[in-house]
A = this chain, B = another copy of it.
Amino acid sequence: MSRGPVSEVPLHGGDPSVLRRLNSVATLRALRGGGEPTLSELAKQVGLSRPTTEGVLGELVERGLVEEVPPRSGAGLGRPARRYRFRAEAGYALGMEIESHRARIFVADLDGEVVGGHSVELDVDWEPPERLAAVRAAVKTCLARAGIERSALWAVAAGTPGVIAPDGTVAICTVVPGWQGLHLARELGRSFSCPVYVENDANLATVAERWRGVAKDVDDVIYVLAQLHTGMGAIINGRLHRGRWGAAGEVGMLPELGLRDTTAALSGAMSPLDAGAGEGGGESSGGGSGGGRDAGAERVLDAAMRGDPEAVALVERLAARMARGIAAMALALDPEMIVVGGELTHTGDRLVEELRRHVRPLCLGPTRIEASTLGDEAVGLGAVRLALDQIDERLFSIETAS
C-alpha cells in the first residue's frame, strides 16, 4: 500500500538525510524480524511507497545486510515476486568469560544464533600475560573451528569477576591474580579490529538469563552467581543496572551479609574424612585473598554432588548464610525474580531450595526464586548478548551514518 505524503510532523525538522536513515532503519528492522517478505509486503509493513522501499533495499543489499532470495514459484501467472531476507551471517559477535580457572568463548551470528564455542582451563596462579595469551589462543581455536574470519567479527565482549569501570578497566578484583588495575578492554582489543567491551561476570549472566534463560522477558531480575566468589547482577525496567561506577550488586562487600569467603566456609568446615587426595583441607587453605579455586572447597562441592550427607549439609548451611546477602539485594530492589546460577548450584536443586526457604521469608513481595537454566554458559552467552546489543545500537541508530 502506497501512501501520499503525510502532513507536517515536527519531529526531525524535515532533514532529508535523517528521513533516509529513518526509512532504512525501519526497513532493516522489519527484515530483521525474520521471514522473507516481497517488496510489496515490506513496503506495506513499513508504510513506505514501493519505489522508496526499492531504493532502501538497494542500499541495504549493497551494505551486505540484506539479500534477494530465489523467488517462490507461485500458483499465479507471471513472474513470481522478488523476496528479501536479513543476512544474519553478515557479521558475528564474540562473547567470552574469563575466570580464574577457565575461559569460555562463544561466537554468534547477528540473529544471536550461536555458531561456535570453545572452552579452556586456565591456571589459577597465572599472571595476566599468560592468562591473556591462553584466551587469545582459545579465541583463535574457536574461530577456526567455526570457520569464521576474525574480520567478520563486529563486536567482542568479555565477562570477568570484579568491578569494571566504564572504559573496560578492572577497577577492583581479588579473585584473578594481577587483574585489578588492568585495562582489560584495551588488552583484549589488541587481537581485534572491532570494538571490545568488558563487563562484570554476574551482570552478563543476568543479561543472558533474561535473553534466553529462566528470566526471559522478566523486566526486574536479580541474578546470583553462586560460586567460590559470589556476585550479583540486576536488570531494572528491562535494562542492566551497572551503577554509577560499575559497582552495583556488590552488597557482598558487607561481611555480615554472608557472601564473602564462600570458599573458606566450605573448605574449613569439612572434616578430613572425605579428604581423598590428602592435603589436610585445613582452616585456611587458599587464604583470605579469595584467590580462585580452593582444593578443600572443591572437594566439598564434589562430595555434595555425589550426595555425601556431610557435604550436602555444608552446602545447605552455606545457603542459609548467603540468604542474608541475597535478601539485602532483594529488599533494596524488590525484583520480580531472583535467578541462582554458578558452580554452587551444580550440587543439584538443594542450594536453590535452601535459598528459597531462607530468602523468601525475608522478602516483602512474592519474589520468585529460580535455578538458572543456562548453567555454566550464562556469562559467555551474556557477553554475546552485550556484543549484539552494541552492534544493534550501531545498526539501528538514526544518528549514525552507515
Contacts and interface: CB of A to CB of B under 8 A. Distances in A.
Interface residues of A, number: 61
Q: Number of copies of this chain in the oligomer? A: 2
A13 B47 contact: yes
Interface in A167-200: 171-172
A245 B334 contact: yes
Interface stretch (A15-23, A87-95, A261-269): A15-23
B333 A243 contact: yes
A172 B334 CA distance: 14
A26 B8 CA distance: 12
Interface of A: 3, 5-14, 16, 19, 22-23, 26, 46-49, 52, 163, 171-172, 220, 234, 236-237, 239, 241-254, 256-257, 324, 327-329, 331-336, 362-367
Given A26-B10, A324-B254, A362-B253, A334 B244 contact: yes
Contacts of A248: 332-334
A244 B10 contact: no
A22 B329 CA distance: 42
Given A5-B5, A332-B328, A22 B10 contact: yes
A12 B249 CA distance: 40
Given A163-B364, A364-B245, A8 B52 contact: yes
Contact of A8 (B23, B220, B239): B23
B334 A333 contact: no
A254 B243 CA distance: 23
Contacts of A19: 6-9
Contact of A244 (B14, B22, B220, B327): B220
Contact of A331 (B46, B247, B256): B247
A13 B2 CA distance: 11
B3 A8 contact: yes
